[in-house]
Structure 1
Amino acid sequence: MNLAAFINHLVREGQVAVVDQLIPFTPQELSETQTILETYYKSDILEMPGTAPSFDAEAALWSAQYIYRIVQLTMGRDIGAADLSAWLAPYPFAVTAAGIYSADLCLRYLPDLLSLSKGLAPDDPLVQEIRETAMQWPFSSTGMNLPARGNITTITASASLLQAYADRIIATRDINRCNSIAIQNTVTASLGNYACVLWPDYKNIDE
């Protein structure tokens, strides 16, 4: 299954399959994948609060390739730690609100990928790579019990991202992500009078 088909199955059915061979993606694959991601974005923004950030093709494509490679490397662990960086390139651009949301179209599956890698040793370089990426992209990694090391300010500066992030924090009850006044205030406002039902332990944040 090539990259375009992989992303199409991932976003539509939540299923993944990859080819065994590690080879570069073709320009046609990347173009087809971008079209799929942009269509997915247009559908996904209907569920976003307020005005969602714009589509960032570079961020979306980077995350699609990253997720595909992670699955490939997880299914066939015959690549040494020194070679991982050749197939898992770090995000090369400045992180913007558009970049965060567009990358999240695929990075939101990071918790599932970490579960997929549970057959590997906890100190396996690939597991560590997934965890590090999750920490660098906090919008996509609530509920993973990992600290947020990425730029939270970019999330809190976007009303749409902030509300969506707060909703994810509530859904996963990730109390450790309530680490800024803006996030705490948004979570509190979202819970309203239903905190005792939606998140009974939330009152412990300020204690």
Structure 2
Amino acid sequence: MLRKNECITLFSDLQEISPEEESEAADYFEAEFEKERLEFLSGQLPCDRPSAVWAAKVLYHSAQLHMIRTDTEKKIKNLIPAFTGVRNVSSLLSADLSLRFLPQVLVALSTTDPDDPLVKILEDILTEFHYSAVGYDLDLQRVNWEEELKDRTYRKLYLERIVQEKDGKLAEIPLINSLLKAEFGMHKDAFWKELK
């Protein structure tokens, strides 16, 4: 529902996710990944099913925790586990199928309670998966951008998302700025007039 209609069903109690539901979700995300892969023209990137399911659980539980906080403090680490997979282009793009919606949940959580410990946990996740957070203000000073953007497909997608979100803070990073200007060429003003 979230990917198709941009809405999510929240329950009055935290729901356990069964292995069958995880398997169905993995099948769904693999199909969605294949659809998106057609847009980024790379037959070499497989869907990382575990990363896609992990990200979906993070998103789902984060939205639930916005509404339900009774006796959840001790459960947060189980509900929002750290990423344990291998961070590569496949895992980043697979996780993005869900994590791209996480900044909206973060805004809702921090509006309700800026000191909510869940906000820090989710921001740490998005700092690791910052492609999904383009447009959301994060501290990315530690990112080695040359290493991060060495994959041609990922670099292209990252630059497109920066332009789509008009993320001026990321566009000011010298390497990204030069990459954007090289992509735009003499048509820079047509794509992003405000870009310096």
> TM-score, normalization: structure 1?
0.83
Change (3 A) 1:191 1:81: farther
Instruction: Give the alignment partner of residue 47 of structure 1, picking from 39, 47, 54.
Output: 39
Residue number in structure 1 paired with 2:95: 103
Mapped partners of 1:52, 1:202: distance in 2? 33
Residue number in structure 2 paired with 1:202: 195
Residue number in structure 2 paired with 1:165: 158
- Report SS of the residue matched to 2:75: helix
Change (3 A) 1:186 1:53: farther
Residue number in structure 2 paired with 1:122: 114
- Report SS of the residue matched to 2:84: coil
Mapped partners of 2:91, 2:107: distance in 1? 25
> TM-score, normalization: structure 2?
0.87
Residue number in structure 1 paired with 2:182: 189
Mapped partners of 2:182, 2:109: distance in 1? 36
For structure 1, list consecutive stretches of 5 or more residues without a partner in the other structure: 1-8
Mapped partners of 1:31, 1:151: distance in 2? 35
Q: Provide the aligned length of Structure 1 versus Structure 2.
A: 194
Which deviates more, 193-202 or 127-136? 193-202
For structure 2, list consecutive stretches of 5 or more residues without a partner in the other structure: none
Q: CA RMSD in A?
A: 2.2
Q: Which amino acid letter does the alignment assign opposite residue 31 of structure 1?
A: S
Q: Which amino acid letter does the alignment assign opposite residue 43 of structure 1?
A: K
TM-superposed CA distance for 1:168, in Å, is 1.0
Q: Which amino acid letter does the alignment assign opposite residue 97 of structure 2?
A: L
